[in-house]
Amino acid sequence: MNSSTLINDQKTATKLSPEDYSGLEKELDALRERTLAKVGQVDADYIRKIIRIERWSGIAGRIVMVLGFFNPLLWVAGVALLALSKILNNMEVGHNVLHGQYDWMNDPYINSKTFDWNIVGDTESWKQVHNYEHHTYTNIIGKDRDFGYGLLRLSNDLPWRLKNTWQIFTYALLSLLFEWGVAYHELAGDRAFSKKVPPKNRRPRLSKENLRRAFFSKAGKQLFKDYVFFPLISGPMFLPVLLGNLTANLIRNLWTSTIIFCGHFTEDIHTFKEEDCQNETKGEWYYRQMLGSSNFEGKRWFHILSGHLSCQIEHHLFPDVPAHRYIDMAPEVRQIAEKYGIPYNTGSFTTQYLTVLKRIMKYSFPQKETHNPTSLA
């Protein structure tokens, strides 16, 4: 990393020496190896238990929703159970399985190559953009497409445009329709549905035709299931079930969006320049992941519903480690961060979320300064 690697305009970060980067790499590698050595039956039992809860809450939710014919409160309970099922499917199961955290089980269902989740986004497109691009080039402006999702200006690395003035409303709409926003974004929809030519450093592996086919195929299946099939088999409860499915999807969207933003766009998150991350060592990569992510605290159930992305720092350091182990790894990661003088960005969920809103509002308007690189000298 060069001395101008960090573009952060919030706080400065301590420069590490080459020896420190090497030490950081060794200590985090050792933590990863110690944790992976423990992975086994406990982890298999855990993820299978979560999948059982996800499936039964989904089945119970759809049945109870239909019983809303007798009492509207049953419809409310059914929607809540279905939303719970969708959240578990997307966060603790889908996100983590698609990262390959459970591929070692050799279970044909719980495998990143075969798993498909209960969301409109195509898994292959998601694995390309999220697993590879986002996790490799985290917060490198121009390389990490997840930074702001092409809709929001979240640092002064990007030029201000008039549309940024009302981006708080854009954020609210994105949160409500998050699964659609992610599906379009991970598909690289701005290129798949237009004649726009992607930059040379970001050529997709799939053709536009294949991308469009994947998008419509997956989205069509989800729309048919939620808004045609289940309402139809509910007979006279067609409309309440359709509205219930829509409500459960909106609840899931708001939850996942909030969790993702609290892990990536809190006030003190750092951004980076592409040219300064070339020839990056693994120690420097670890350093960048720690500065580009943020955690939030909560009860055990809260961590599970977040897919353990409440430990976003640990997830970015160890994306292939079963996520439920991040809570045990976090204290040691924090100690290592303190040892090397690296900021460890964490706080209560409310505090972190408020800083997300603050960041969105701050960059809604042009700033006088352009960059304020953190000095590593």
Q: How confident is the model at residue 166 (pLDDT cuts 50, 70, 90)?
A: very high
Pair 193, 132: CB distance under 8 Å: no
The C-alpha atoms of residue 124 and residue 109 are separated, in whole angstroms, by: 16
102/202 Cα distance (integer angstroms): 29
Q: pTM of the full predicted structure?
A: 0.90
Inter-residue contact 170 to 325 (CB < 8 Å): no
Residues 29, 285: Cα–Cα separation, whole Å: 12
pLDDT at position 31, please? 98
Locus of tokens 């609210």: 172
Stretch 159-165: mean pLDDT: 93
Supply the pLDDT for residue 196: 63
**pLDDT grade for 121, boundaries at 50, 70 and 90:** confident
Q: Using CB atoms within 10 Å of the CB of residue 97, give its burial: 0 to 12 exposed, 13 to 18 middle, 19+ buried.
A: buried
Query: What distance separates the 2 farthest-apart alpha carbons in the chain?
Result: 70
Q: What contacts 196, CB < 8 A, 6 or more positions away?
A: 190
Rounded to whole angstroms, how far apart are CA atoms 237 and 92?
Answer: 31
- Per-residue pLDDT at 94: 96
Does residue 309 surpass a pLDDT of 70? yes
Contact status, residue 243 vs residue 251, Cβ threshold 8 Å:
no
- For the chain, what's the residue count? 377
* Alpha-carbon torsion, ordered 79, 80, 85, 86, to 10 deg: 70
Angle in degrees, 0-180, between the axes of helices 349-362 and 238-264, rounded to the nearest 10: 80
43 vs 375, residue with greater confidence: 43
Look over the chain and give the mean of its residue pLDDT values, rounded to a whole number.
89
Measured CA angle at 177 (ends 176, 179), to 5 deg: 125
Residue 3 has pLDDT above 50, yes or no: no
Residues 66, 237 contacting (CB under 8 angstroms): yes
Using CA atoms, how far apart are residues 59 and 29, in angstroms rounded to an integer?
A: 42
Per-residue pLDDT tens for 135-144? Answer: 999 999 888 8
Hey, which residues does 272 pair with through a beta bridge? 6, 140
pLDDT by residue (tens digit) across 310-342? 999 999 999 999 999 999 999 999 999 999 999
- Better-predicted residue by pLDDT, 101 or 212: 101
Of 14-28, 197-211, 302-316, 357-371, the least confident: 197-211
Neighbours of 178 (CB within 10 A): 25
- Nearest-angstrom CA–CA distance, 123 and 135: 16
